[in-house]
Amino acid sequence: MSDIDVTCFCPYHGRNWLLFEAVEAFRRQRLGSVRAELLILNDCPEQRITCSVPGVRVVNMPQTYRTLSEKWNAGVEMSRGRLIASWDDDDVSMPDRVACAVAAIGDAPMYVNLWVWSMCNERGVIDQIGRAWLCNGMFRRDAFLAAGGNDVDDWNDRSTFGKLKADAVWQRDADPSQIHYVYRWAGEMHDSGHTDTAEVRVKRFRDAVLSDARFAHGEHDVIPWWAMDYEAAVDDAKRRNVRVAKE
């Protein structure tokens, strides 16, 4: 039986110019007694990832998954933790994120924190509090598997959310002290908001990554660091009294 409490799952595909920050976010977690791993599932066959950071496990696949939900199902199967936290490479988790989510979820199948700090209009500047699906939350591995995993042709977060939300624990208030996640809209490619099929979304994303000048072919060793001080950016957002954007 695994001694890991939490698997932070990173469904990675080629964005080496972002992955180092996601690994650094994991390295900075203030876990206390929580035992965690970062699982990087790389299905970009043009690039092989290595990483020697303690607690980081990389799985390089020889082919690309047809949909992101298929990739998530595979990642949860590979996970050693009883709890799963999404760890997207283009966003940044604050150092208290994992420990706070573990405390919040208790015995529930899922913890939903609806709120994230958002960099919407300018790279590096938090200008609003935004809403999220599951990127800032956590769910139980056994509950996910018992529910049959994600519907492979649905969006992965929507499928998980729909199956587990009935008995979830919620952080419904946009309390700045309970927001531990920085969501970056500005400056990076996104599939959020697109309405075509899950398979087409993967193809579009893959084409964008492979055509990016920053893409590194071949073997890429991840050396973790942060390009900016995200904790300071969050503190600055709190001082400026950044609030939820009006819809």
CATH for the stretch 6-239? 3.90.550.10
Is it the case that residue 180 has pLDDT exceeding 70? Answer: yes
Mean pLDDT of the chain: 92
Is it the case that residue 187 has pLDDT exceeding 90? Answer: no
Question: For the segment 111-139, what is each residue's pLDDT rounded down to a tens digit?
Answer: 999 999 999 888 889 999 999 878 889 99
User: How many whole angstroms separate alpha carbon 141 and alpha carbon 82?
Assistant: 5
pLDDT of residue 194: 54
Which residues lie below 8 Å from residue 94, measured CB to CB, with a gap of 6+? 25, 180, 181, 182, 230, 231, 234
Half-sphere exposure of 111 (CA within 13 A, CB side): 23
Q: Please give the share of the chain, as a percent, with pLDDT higher than 90.
A: 81
More confident residue, 185 or 228: 228
Q: Please give the share of the chain, as a percent, with pLDDT higher than 70.
A: 95
DSSP string, the chain: ----SEEEEEEE-S-HHHHHHHHHHHHT---TT--EEEEEEE--TTEEEE--STTEEEEE-SS--SSHHHHHHHHHHH--SSEEEE--TTSEE-TTHHHHHHHHHTTSSEEEE-EEEEE-SSTT---EEEE-SSTT-EEEHHHHHHTTS--TTS-HHHHHHHHHGGG-EEE-S--GGG--EEEE-TTS---TT--S-HHHHHHHHHHHHHTSTT---EEEE-----SS-HHHHHHHHHHTT--BPP-
- The mean per-residue pLDDT over the stretch 79-100 comes to 96
Neighbouring CB atoms inside 10 A of 96's CB total: 18
pLDDT category at 188 given cuts 50, 70, 90 is low
Least confident of 45-59, 94-108, 150-164, 229-243: 150-164
pLDDT category at 186 given cuts 50, 70, 90 is low
pLDDT of residue 158: 82
pLDDT of residue 156: 81
Question: For the segment 214-232, what is each residue's pLDDT rounded down to a tens digit?
Answer: 999 999 999 999 999 999 9
pLDDT category at 162 given cuts 50, 70, 90 is confident
Total number of residues shown for the chain: 247
Question: For the segment 77-88, what is each residue's pLDDT rounded down to a tens digit?
Answer: 999 999 999 999
User: How many whole angstroms separate alpha carbon 54 and alpha carbon 1?
Assistant: 20
Q: Is 187 left (phi over 0), alpha (psi -120 to 50) or beta?
A: left
Question: For the segment 47-67, what is each residue's pLDDT rounded down to a tens digit?
Answer: 999 999 999 999 999 999 999
